[in-house]
Amino acid sequence: MNPERSLILVKPDGVRRGLAGAILARIEAKGYELVAVELRTATDAELAAHYAEHEGKPFYAPLVDFMKSGPVLAIVAEGQGVIPGFRSLAGATDPTQAAPGTIRGDMGRDWGVKVQQNLVHGSDSPESATREIGIWFPNL
């Protein structure tokens, strides 16, 4: 089998809290290869493309504003089953419901309605991974 790739983002709350290294360590400990890693400030164009499916929804503008509130660590990870594997490692979207042992369960905070402040993003399918990697790392 060919290994798959996933886009992983350490969101501004994770970078701001100094958790990027701990999150990278968990990705590597799981056995995934880091193909690309870059600390950057997301552009309006990147965020519009990344979240295009959510445009017009009530949470879209607050999500984009949050993602522009500070740097993100953009990562391309590769390995067998990296997409479902990282999503399992990340834990439930709402940190208050994420299991202990997951990134969100161990490091996430209870932000109430601000569920977008949940430390990480991971691609949800091979198709999404290809699209998202093309947005964040167009030269890969």
**Residue list for the binding site for ATP:** 11, 59, 87, 93, 104, 118
Query: Which residue positions form the known binding site?
Result: 11, 59, 87, 93, 104, 118
Among the listed residues 7, 19, 121, 129, the single catalytic one is 121
Q: Which residue from 67, 71, 83, 70 is spatially nearest to 27, judged by alpha carbons?
A: 83
- Residue 83 — left, alpha, or beta (φ > 0 → left; ψ -120 to 50 → alpha)? alpha
Q: For this structure, is 54 an active site residue?
A: no
DSSP tag of 41: P
Is the separation of the CB atoms in 115 and 94 below 8 Å? Answer: yes
Write out the catalytic residue numbers.
121
